[in-house]
Amino acid sequence: MFAALVILCSLSTYAQDSDNQEFWFVAPDASFSHNDRPTFFMITTGDTPASVTISMPANKSFKKITKNIPANSYWKYSFSNDAEISLIENDINSSGIPTQKGFYITSSAPVSAYYQIDGDRNYQKEIFTLKGKKALGTEFYMPFQKAYPISDRDEYNNEQFRQIQIVATKNGTNVVISPKSDQALFKAADGAINSKSPLESRTITLNEGETLLWRENARHTPDLIGTKITSTDKEKPIAVTLFEDCVQDGKDGSVDPIGDQLVPTHNLGKNYIVVKGYSSGNATDHAVILAVATGKTDVWIRSENNDEKKIATLSQGEYWSEDLGKGGDSPGAFYISTSQPVYCMHQSASGSELGGAILPSLYSISGKRITFMKGNKNTTVNSMFLVFRESAKDGFTIDNKRLTVDAKSIGFGDWRYAKVNLTNTTDTLQVCAVANTKGSFSLGYFNGASSTSLYGYFSAFGTFSFASDTIYHCGTSHEFDAPYALSYKWTLPDNTTSDKSVLTATKSGKYTLYVDQDPYKLTDETILCLQNFNHKFYAPSKLLVGKSYNFSIQLNPENDPYNKFNATYEWDFGEGAKVTTDIKKKWVNVYYETAGPKKVALKVTNTNAHCDTTITHEFKVLDTPEVMYWKTDAENQNWNDENNWTDAQGNDLFAVPSAQTKVYLPGPANDARNYPSLNRETDRYFYGDPEVNEIVFG
């Protein structure tokens, strides 16, 4: 049985983490006869716990659900029975008709997410990596693959088609489909549409969370590649899912789905590295290059030891399908470059079991740590594809152990790639974390068995942006690791500049970065807060048995505006302590029932920068003396001043009376100047109201 894939992503500062707290998605309608269930969402956290909510804003039948996910963990939310699948899949019979199938996933912290078709009877499986805000836009072109047809087998009961699935994020969103030709027929509510259909027939208005399917009117409809989908209002972005159901590698060959969530045209690039998979038999690897820009787009391809050659010149909406050969044949990877941004869709296979994925462009690569769950021993192919630069080749680790990779040249600058086989000799899934301390990388995961395959890239897509408007970091310095780009210009808080890709910041303040990510010239800024645990800790040096004290801490006593953060507190007062207030607060009231040396420990966690420290304090708890004396030369009238009390011999006690203490106040009873004042002069912040068993005057 094929193993489900679990991915846990923790991306670097430049992995667009802030873009991964909101996700819109619409699930395609996979063939029931080819086993479309179960399906599930997999949502995973990095170093920060997250509260995640899954909802369908336009569908009241779906009950919103929220889950608190610990750090470095995951939540698998499944759909399995007829009612659940019917509720979430956007049915093939609804083509051209608004439906209410849109998912909206929100998180309190950056997470990664994907949707998986996990059919376990006929092994129909595919993953759709959710791209967060990078999936949202107003212009998309459809990069369907060309090499393999949709199966015509009768056993699939006319349920298998190429699909374009759309979800709106705002009310009143006008979605327009623009077929390439009059042959490109899409099923509509009352017939079919093509390029000659009037605009009003090709425009559907959706509200928030509503969805729209356009599917081919009949299998093998020509000219679907390059179909354009737009939202007419730039303030009303949409998300689009591409799906090809029951794709067959030959007349009687293997059958599998191919699909992914797309990114809009403004998040595409001009440079791609395609690492070949494990195709064999009837199947070979293919890359579909789809032009989206006006004018002409030239396409070149090269590989190690092979000169670059021009393979196509494309107009907007035109494509080129390049056969890359079988997975085991040389070369093992190709570099594809274009004169203008394009989609690059890679189709590969495990043997002849097909899978496909949208590739991230080189200048969107920014992840430095990706954790995933690899398949069990029953998996035929269990592999990851890594793309990185030469400087990062020796920085890989897996499960905190050094990972040596066979870094191969692609024939383009210092870019490298590696295919890494992941071994698992057990019947269970295993979590492993891949990281790189020397540079960013992209990771494609390919998992296949004798009857299906899964393929997807768990990497950043789109163009550069800082992780958030504010970056919190514990320490005296922070290393910014810029995204891959042709050139850089940093502007520091003191207005000095740097052209380095890596910048070590030693001051808090505003940092601005300009990058040339061909063809995009981008500028973004962030506020860096270098933070520490400077504090004042309030605790007694001595305390009487039974006398309570308000232990407390003041963080950031200098009131540094960059050192302000949200904190949590965990107190440990040791043996004999009785806590009378909430132990999770920064102010805690405690008394002790036993005498002796004591130690209090306070763990403070900076929840913004995700770091912590433990502060300790040692003091003594004294048995309550029979009598305590007020000093005749007390410097103030504060009853709760530890320096104002002595024993019968005049020795300083450095403690204040408890409710069991007898005290002597010297001097005549009618002379208040000799006595403590119980009004404003007595500080009640630490010890509360004065306590005493008996007072003797004179």
The residue that leads in pLDDT, 675 or 432, is 675
The pLDDT score that the predictor gives to residue 697 is 84
**Is the pLDDT assigned to residue 47 strictly greater than 90?**
no
The owner of tokens 């995973």 is 44
Listed residue (413, 407, 411, 409) closest to 394, CA to CA: 407
CB-count burial class (<10 Å; 0-12, 13-18, 19+) for 394: middle
Q: What is the mean pLDDT of residues 569-576?
A: 96
Local confidence band at 679 (pLDDT 50, 70, 90 cut-offs): confident
Instruction: Give the tokens for residue 454.
Output: 């899964």
Per cent of the chain over pLDDT 70 is 93
pLDDT score for 12 = 30
Q: How many residues does the chain have?
A: 698
Under the banding of pLDDT at 50, 70 and 90, the label for residue 353 is: confident
β-pair type (470-474, 497-498): unpaired
How would residue 567 be classed by pLDDT, with cut points 50, 70 and 90? Answer: very high
Locate 648 and state its tokens.
């019968």
pLDDT at 99 over 90: yes
What residues contact residue 160 under an 8 Å CB cut-off, 6+ apart? 31, 34, 150, 151, 219, 245, 246
* Ranges 245-259, 405-419, 580-594: which has the least confidence: 245-259
Output 680 or 165, whichever has higher pLDDT: 165
Confidence (pLDDT) at 672 = 64
Q: Quick one: pLDDT band at residue 77, thresholds 50, 70, 90?
A: very high
pLDDT confidence band for 8 (50 / 70 / 90): very low
d(CA 9, CA 676): 62
- In whole angstroms, what is the distance from residue 559 CA to residue 541 CA? 26
Q: How far apart are CA 525 and CA 652, in angstroms?
A: 58
Rg of the chain (C-alpha set): 33
Q: DSSP state, 652?
A: B
CB–CB of 277/348 below 8 Å? Answer: yes
Query: What pLDDT is recorded for position 251?
Result: 63
Residue 7: its pLDDT value, please?
35
User: 185 or 501: whose pLDDT is higher?
Assistant: 185
Q: Give pLDDT, residue 506.
A: 96
pLDDT digits (tens, 9 = 90+) for 190-246: 999 999 999 999 999 999 999 999 999 999 999 999 999 999 999 999 999 999 998
653-665 burial, b at 16+ Cβ within 10 Å, e below that, comes to bbbbbbebbebeb
The residue with greater pLDDT, 673 or 466, is 466
∠ CA 614-619-622, rounded to 5°: 150
* Residue carrying the six token digits 């369908």: 56
Q: How confident is the model at residue 276 (pLDDT cuts 50, 70, 90)?
A: very high
Predicted confidence at residue 122, as pLDDT, reads 52
The percent of residues in the chain predicted with pLDDT above 90, rounded, is 70
Task: Specify the higher pLDDT residue, 669 or 697.
Answer: 697
As a whole number, the mean pLDDT across the chain is 90
Contact call for residues 371 and 6 (beta carbons, < 8 A): no
Task: Compute the average pLDDT of residues 562-571.
Answer: 96
Q: Would you state the torsion angle of the CA atoms of residues 221, 227, 231, 232, taken in this order, to the nearest 10 degrees?
A: -110
> ∠275-276-278 over CA atoms, to 5°?
140
- Inform me whether the pLDDT recorded for 372 exceeds 70: no
Query: What was the pLDDT predicted at 262?
Result: 98
Least confident of 340-354, 388-402, 460-474: 460-474
Chain centre distance of CA 486? 26
- Domains defined along the chain, listed by start: 6-457 (no CATH), 470-531 (2.60.40.10), 533-622 (2.60.40.1080), 624-698 (no CATH)
In this predicted structure, what is the pLDDT of residue 430?
63
pLDDT at residue 680 greater than cutoff 90? no
Quote the DSSP letter at residue 4: P
Residue 104 contacts residue 23 (beta carbons within 8 Å)? yes
**pLDDT in the model for residue 336:** 97
| Cβ proximity of 528 and 565 under 8 Å | no
Q: Which residue has the tokens 């029975």?
A: 81
Confidence label for 259 from pLDDT (cuts 50, 70 and 90): very high
Q: Which of the four pLDDT bands, split at 50, 70 and 90, describes residue 185?
A: very high
Is residue 92 within 8 Å of 159, Cβ to Cβ? yes
Strands 125-129 and 50-55: unpaired
Q: What is the pLDDT of residue 671?
A: 66
pLDDT digits (tens, 9 = 90+) for 495-529: 999 999 889 999 999 999 999 988 889 999 999 99
Query: Which pLDDT band holds residue 462 (cuts at 50, 70, 90)?
Result: confident
pLDDT higher than 90, residue 578: yes
